[in-house]
Amino acid sequence: MRLLKLVPDNTNIGFVRLRVVAFIITALLTVAAIGATATRGLNMGVDFVGGLMIEAKFATPPSLDAVRSNIDALGVGTSSLQQFGDPGTISIRLPVPDSNDPGATNAVVNKVDASLKKQFPGVVFTRTDTVSGKVSGELIQNGVLAVVLAVLGIAVFSWLRYEWQFGVSTFVAIVHDVLMTLGFFAVTQLEFDLNIVAAVLTIVGYSINDKMVIDDRIRENMRKFRQMDMKALIDLSVNETLPRTVMTSVTVFLALGALLLFGGHVLRGFAAAMLLGVVVGTYSSIYVSSSLLISLGLQPLRIAKPEAGRPEAERVGP
């Protein structure tokens, strides 16, 4: 039985020759992601904006206007509705009751439940969450802080482990991955909650793992082939790690695809963010992080010199 090979042996793809085009595309996508996030904003979940979130599943897809009119007539505050998952599932957001009564929130939920069941028989509340404004503010602060510290920590680690060029290229690539994720959620208006923050941190971890594998191989080849042109050396290193990169991406893709299709709408945003992260993380590892090393002036001869009396392999071309 022949072993499955997703990438043939002796693959020699010229990634670096497309780096200028890749840099232009990356810059345009980054500007578009920042613009989308700034103009459209993120559809923040109740974790970040605070309030009461009710997830209602209707027997037949209702009219959003009819549901909104029904709830607003109850005097429990202005409702915000969003259809997601399937047409019969609606997310209802309401302000947290301004009361010291610990049962006030349950009273609102029961009031909305009774009113909707009267007009829409068969409706079921599948989820209710409540977050106060103070807690949501702390969650935003801690979430942003977690992502920023993760990116900076990884960049510093890469700088200390290798040379400063690796730290800069890793920082740029990870920031690119995070901005692409934010832009995706701004365009699709999928709910951005704590699950997505977890997805962003997972994307950062996945992306840095891919970059470390390629960076390690680049550094090894810089020691082995000290006279090789840097462009050829990076192409060689990326091609040598390509089977591992493709196999990892495909297997992760299969797992996340199953999660997206069968994991339910609660995990849909997380799975979508992770799928996007696999794509942009792989792209940035090859076309942003590695190719940027050339622009930053990394040269093989600046790394280790051969040990005295030890023969050193030399290669001047791919």
pTM higher than 0.85? no
Write the pLDDT tens digit of every residue in 6-20. 777 777 888 888 888
Q: What is the rounded average pLDDT of the residues 91-119?
A: 81
pLDDT at 26 over 80: yes
pLDDT at 306 over 70: no
Band (pLDDT 50/70/90 cuts) for residue 83 is confident
Q: The tokens 């990870």 sit on which residue? A: 174
pLDDT score for 318: 46
The mean predicted confidence, pLDDT, of the chain is 81
Interacting residues of 3 by C-beta distance below 8 A, sequence separation 6+ = none
What is the per-residue DSSP string for 218-285?
HHHHHHH-TTS-HHHHHHHHHHHHHHHHHHHHHHHHHHHHHHHHHS-HHHHHHHHHHHHHHHHHHHII
pLDDT at 89 over 90: no
- Stretch (H or E) spanning 124: strand 124-131
CB 279 within 8 A of CB 210: no
pLDDT score for 28: 93
pLDDT at 138 over 80: no
pLDDT at 84 over 80: no
pLDDT score for 258: 87
Tokens of 262: 């069968």
pLDDT score for 4: 67
Higher pLDDT, 40 or 87: 40
Could you give the angle at the alpha carbon of 131 between the alpha carbons of 125 and 135, nearest 5°? 165
Question: Helices then strands (H, E): number in the chain?
Answer: 10, 6
Is the CA virtual torsion 230, 235, 240, 246 positive or negative? positive
pLDDT score for 32: 93
